[in-house]
Amino acid sequence: MTRTAFFISDGTGITAESLGRSLLAQFENVDINMQTKPYIATLEKAHALVEVINATANRDGERPIIIDTIVDQEIRDVIRQAVGFKVDIFSTFLEPLEQELETHSSYSVGRTHSIGSDDVYMDRIQSVHFALDNDDGARTHQYSKADIILVGVSRCGKTPTSLYLALQFGIRAANYPLTEDDQDEDGLLKLPKVLAPHQHKLFGLTIDARRLSAIRNERRPNSRYSSMDQCFQEVEQAESLYRSMHIPYIDTTRFSVEEISTRMIAETGLARRFSPR
């Protein structure tokens, strides 16, 4: 079964898309073509979109799913004319909240994903700069300022996780790659000296060696770096180091960066500088 879903907003569409994708992900047996339609902020755009939705219904032979966060009542009335199954997020949730809180919502466009206070915005930017400056062990002298230091073998997800923590939560995340340079004379991986003073900040990432090999082959095909033997050895030594040094770690193989970050925060108790937007 194939259906089309429209995520519609008079702002960025991030809220409608995020909630819509979360809801529709529960239906694994349905193939859903998802389309995000942001900035539907005029009646003209709303009428044009209704034509697109109706044409889609005729083409598919099934009414599309319509998930919207439209604030303006006139625009919402236009969207309601479309042939589709409608999930109006604001009317579904805001009206009961208004009754409970005994006050009216501001119904302001773009409040969720606006810049907000200058302090929060600057925290976000500074955290992202910190993650970039301290990526891949680039500036180890700044580790005293880090909230967390991610460690792991090359291509296990350290950089995207660091950036996500910075962008979404304002967490200062550095990351350090575990390589053969950190092995002792017996070829065993040891905790790098630069990390020793910050051991309480360390969090390890690991990954299935077969998956790691596939990822590395996209970057350096048919190399020692991407070979299965090399990947198995690096992953095994990294996990052994985590266990011996009591470094908490997570397997990133089957988790998205969002899940990795959330699990990491829950396990470490890291303080968020702000909530995700």
Binding residue positions for ADP: 152-159
Contact 262, 164 (CB under 8 A): no
Q: Strands across the sheet with 173-177, in order?
A: 173-177, 148-152, 202-206, 249-251
**Cα–Cα dist 210/152, whole Å:** 16
- Partnered with residue 177 across adjacent β-strands are 152
- Please give the annotated binding residues, written as ranges: 152-159
Plot region of 116 (φ>0 → left; ψ -120 to 50 → alpha; else → beta): left
Cβ contacts of 84 within 8 Å, gap of 6 or more? 6, 53, 57, 63, 64, 65, 66
- Partnered with residue 189 across adjacent β-strands are 183
Three-state secondary-structure class, residue 151: strand
Contact 66, 82 (CB under 8 A): yes
**Side chain identity, residue 152:** G
Q: Return the structure tokens found at 257.
A: 């960066």
Query: What ranges make up the beta strands (E) of 76-172?
Result: 85-88, 148-152
**Cα–Cα dist 167/256, whole Å:** 15
Which among 233, 270, 264, 232 has a CA at the least distance from the CA of 248? 264
Which among 162, 158, 197, 161 has a CA at the least distance from the CA of 178? 158
